[in-house]
């Protein structure tokens, strides 16, 4: 059941090191890495938070 | 942007992609390799250590353009920092290289291009084209423009974060326990030893290890991988590495000049890497060694086979998954037993408490390890601690 929470990916480069760890683990294949920018498909994302755990630097949060 | 046609389309210009493309072209196929980044090999996402025995088999010539250091051996540290040192120098061998990965990747792409492969940068595949149950190319995007690239054979070499495999319905999804999340600093003014790659095991890096790969005197890649299922809070991976560094004065005094991250699959080998008109290679096919985390050698070895089979499929005008079984069989013959054995070994090792690592490393002190291979080390563990290797002793 998708929750109403929002996924925040800090991908301006402040925290994100655009390594692609979240892209590879996303069970719905809805995160994308374009060179140095991460985007995700909000309609597909179920806020499962797996990417939050996989991110080595803490650039992803749910709130 | 005009629609394009080619015989073999390779998605991703990492080592596996370039190797596949080169060998496809060598066998006569018109080959196009697309890369979504503007610069092949950069940004680097790699520890940059690799073995070297496999290089001649796939036609890669060692070059000072991409080799930083030739290492003589490895030192494996237990949690209480007993050390198992394996040095092959006395046997006249150097075991491997620490490399400049961006230069290495570029060189393999140059080799492919010189073999006749066309390369397109800043070009991303965004979906697969299908015809009658066969993949027949991709919809691609370059500089904001969408166009089609049609090819009887498409090869997914799009790395750890592969999407091509999932689009094709191939089971590349990973569980939390099947992945290590990694981070690494390049540090200067550290006490690394250019003769050795160092590995630190135990709860300093749950389900993974800390590595020190020397790039030059006093300069090293200092990195860590931690199993995602063992992570609890955001940025835990970085915390583990920072903690390790803080506890090691030889590194705490160092200065960070670079930081990279990435995911590494530590899963068992995939059951299927081909479908009609498509095959996967390298990290995209989960060919990373689940024990060492190394992916370059396996990607290149499989890439050579992928290129040959792809070219043959084009010539035979048969791109069915039945024909592509030649690739499936070919890479499995070379890699599968080892991948499976190392996966079983890893499954066991991630359950061991620090005391057991200490005991094992201690017990191995009096074993003469001539050659630095995972198999050799596991065999030695088997002689001393058969209960640790029970689940995979058939592979030793």
B183 contact residues in A (CB cutoff 8 A): 17, 19, 56-57
Query: B356 and B386: one domain?
Result: yes
Report the distance separating Cα A49 and Cα A7, nearest Å.
Answer: 8
Query: B312 and B385: one domain?
Result: no
**CA B387 to chain CA mean position, Å:** 29
Report the distance separating Cα A19 and Cα B44, nearest Å.
Answer: 9
- pLDDT tops 90 at residue B184: yes
- Confirm whether B123 is domain-assigned: yes
Among A53-57, B311-315, B351-355, top mean pLDDT goes to: B311-315
Query: B282 and B168: one domain?
Result: yes
A30 touches chain B (CB under 8 A): no
- Confirm whether B212 is domain-assigned: yes
Query: How is residue B239 written in tokens?
Result: 């915390």
Report the distance separating Cα B308 and Cα B321, nearest Å.
Answer: 15
- Confirm whether B56 is domain-assigned: no
Question: Which of B124, B174, B237 lies closest to A24 in CB terms?
Answer: B174
Mean pLDDT of B278-304: 97
Residue B387 has a pLDDT of 87
Cβ pair B161:A24 closer than 8 A:
yes
Exposed/middle/buried for B160, CB within 10 Å: 0-12, 13-18, 19+?
buried
Q: How far is CA A20 from CA B164, B226, B384, in A?
A: 15, 15, 40
B227 touches chain A (CB under 8 A): no
Q: How far is CA B19 from CA B85, B90, B111, B373, B374, in A?
A: 33, 33, 9, 24, 25
CB crowding B36-49: b at 16 or more within 10 Å, else e? bbeebbebbbbbbb
Q: Identify the sign of the CA torsion B159, B73, B209, B333.
A: positive
Domain limits for position A17: 7-62
Largest Cα separation within chain B, whole Å, is 66
Residue B78 has a pLDDT of 95
- Confirm whether B63 is domain-assigned: no
Query: B197 and B277: one domain?
Result: no
Report the distance separating Cα B344 and Cα B338, nearest Å.
Answer: 10
Residue B291 CB partners (closer than 8 Å, separation 6+): B266, B342, B343, B345, B346, B349, B374
B210 contact residues in A (CB cutoff 8 A): none
Q: Which of A22, A24, A26, A54 to mutate to test the interface with B (most CBs of B within 10 A)?
A: A24
Give one DSSP letter per residue of B90-127, joined into a string: GGT---EEEE-HHHHHHHHHHHHHHTT-EEESSEEEEE
Question: Which of A19, A34, A53 lies closest to B260 in CB terms?
Answer: A19
- Confirm whether A17 is domain-assigned: yes
Residue B62 CB partners (closer than 8 Å, separation 6+): B52, B55, B97
Report the distance separating Cα B326 and Cα B324, nearest Å.
Answer: 5
Exposed/middle/buried for B287, CB within 10 Å: 0-12, 13-18, 19+?
buried
B263 contact residues in A (CB cutoff 8 A): 19-21, 23-25, 54
- Confirm whether A37 is domain-assigned: yes
Mean pLDDT of B15-36: 98
How many domains does the structure of chain B reveal? Answer: 3
- The residue assigned the tokens 């749950």 is B206
Query: B190 and B128: one domain?
Result: no
Query: B181 and B312: one domain?
Result: no
Residue B370 has a pLDDT of 75
Cβ pair B36:A34 closer than 8 A:
yes
pLDDT tens digits, B131-182:
999 999 999 999 889 999 999 999 999 999 999 999 999 989 999 999 999 9
- Confirm whether B136 is domain-assigned: yes
Residue A36 CB partners (closer than 8 Å, separation 6+): A13, A18, B43
**CA B334 to chain CA mean position, Å:** 15
Residue A4 C-alpha, separation from nearest chain B C-alpha, in angstroms = 21
pLDDT tens digits, B44-95:
989 999 999 999 999 999 999 999 999 999 999 999 999 998 887 766 666 8
Cβ pair A29:B234 closer than 8 A:
no
How many domains does the structure of chain A reveal? Answer: 1
Domain limits for position B369: 350-395
In the Cβ-directed half-sphere of B328, how many Cα atoms lie within 13 Å? Answer: 15
Query: B231 and B374: one domain?
Result: no
Cβ pair A34:B235 closer than 8 A:
no
Mean pLDDT of B193-220: 97
- Confirm whether A1 is domain-assigned: no
Strand-strand pairing, B83-87 and B123-131:
unpaired
Query: B37 and B122: one domain?
Result: yes
Residue A3 has a pLDDT of 53
What is the CB neighbour count within 10 angstroms for residue B3? 11
Cβ pair A56:B182 closer than 8 A:
yes
pLDDT tens digits, A8-44:
887 666 889 999 999 999 999 999 988 778 889 999 9
**Dihedral angle over CA of A29, A32, A38, A43, nearest 10:** -60
Query: B337 and B214: one domain?
Result: no
Tell me what percent of chain A is helix, strand and coil, each rounded to the nearest 5: 15, 20, 60
Q: What angle do CA B291, B50, B172 make, to 5 degrees?
A: 50
A13 touches chain B (CB under 8 A): no
Strand-strand pairing, B255-265 and B219-227:
unpaired
Strand-strand pairing, B83-87 and B209-216:
unpaired
Residue B115 has a pLDDT of 98
Q: How far is CA B234 from CA B80, B180, B238, in A?
A: 27, 14, 9
- Confirm whether B55 is domain-assigned: no
- The residue assigned the tokens 């290495």 is B104
Q: Which of A14, A17, A21 to mutate to test the interface with B (most CBs of B within 10 A)?
A: A21
């Amino acid at each position: 059941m998708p929750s109403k929470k929002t996924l925040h990916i800090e991908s301006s480069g402040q925290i994100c090191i655009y390594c692609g760890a979240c892209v590879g683990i996303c069970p719905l294949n809805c995160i994308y890495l374009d060179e140095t920018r991460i985007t995700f498909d909000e309609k597909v994302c179920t806020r499962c938070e797996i990417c939050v755990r996989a991110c080595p630097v803490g650039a992803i949060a749910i709130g | 942007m005009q629609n394009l046609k080619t015989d073999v389309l390779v998605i991703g210009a990492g080592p596996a992609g370039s190797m596949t493309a080169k060998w496809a072209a060598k066998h006569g196929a018109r080959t196009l390799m697309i890369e979504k980044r503007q610069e092949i090999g950069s940004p680097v996402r790699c520890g940059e250590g690799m073995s070297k025995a496999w290089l001649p088999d796939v036609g890669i010539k060692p070059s000072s353009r991409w080799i930083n250091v030739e290492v003589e051996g490895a030192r494996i540290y237990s949690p209480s920092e007993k050390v198992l040192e394996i040095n092959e120098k006395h046997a006249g061998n150097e075991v491997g290289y620490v490399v400049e990965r961006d230069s290495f990747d570029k060189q393999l792409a140059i080799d492919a291009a010189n073999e006749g492969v066309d390369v397109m940068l800043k070009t991303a595949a965004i979906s697969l084209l299908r015809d009658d149950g066969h993949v027949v190319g991709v919809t691609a995007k370059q500089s904001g423009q969408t166009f089609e690239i049609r090819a009887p054979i498409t090869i997914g070499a799009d790395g750890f974060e592969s999407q091509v495999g999932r689009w094709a319905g191939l089971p590349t999804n990973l569980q939390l326990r099947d992945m290590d999340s990694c981070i690494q600093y390049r540090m200067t003014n550290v006490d690394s030893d250019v003769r050795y790659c160092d590995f630190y095991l135990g709860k300093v890096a749950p389900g993974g290890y800390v590595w020190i790969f020397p790039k030059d005197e006093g300069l090293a890649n200092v990195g860590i991988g931690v199993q995602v299922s063992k992570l609890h809070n955001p940025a835990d991976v970085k915390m583990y590495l920072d903690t390790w560094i803080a506890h090691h004065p030889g590194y705490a005094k160092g200065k960070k000049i670079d930081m990279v991250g990435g995911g590494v699959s530590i899963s068992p080998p995939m059951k299927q890497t081909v479908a009609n008109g498509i095959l996967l290679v390298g990290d995209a096919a989960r060919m990373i060694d689940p024990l060492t985390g190394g992916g370059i050698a396996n990607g290149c070895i499989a890439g050579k086979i992928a290129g040959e089979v792809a070219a043959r499929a084009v010539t035979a005008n048969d791109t069915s998954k039945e024909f592509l079984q030649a690739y499936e069989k070919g890479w499995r013959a070379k890699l599968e037993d080892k991948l499976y054995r190392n996966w079983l070994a890893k499954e066991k090792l991630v359950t061991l408490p620090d005391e057991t690592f200490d005991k094992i490393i201690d017990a191995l002190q009096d074993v003469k390890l001539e050659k630095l291979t995972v198999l050799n080390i596991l065999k030695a563990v088997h002689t001393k601690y058969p209960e640790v290797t029970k689940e995979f002793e058939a592979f030793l």
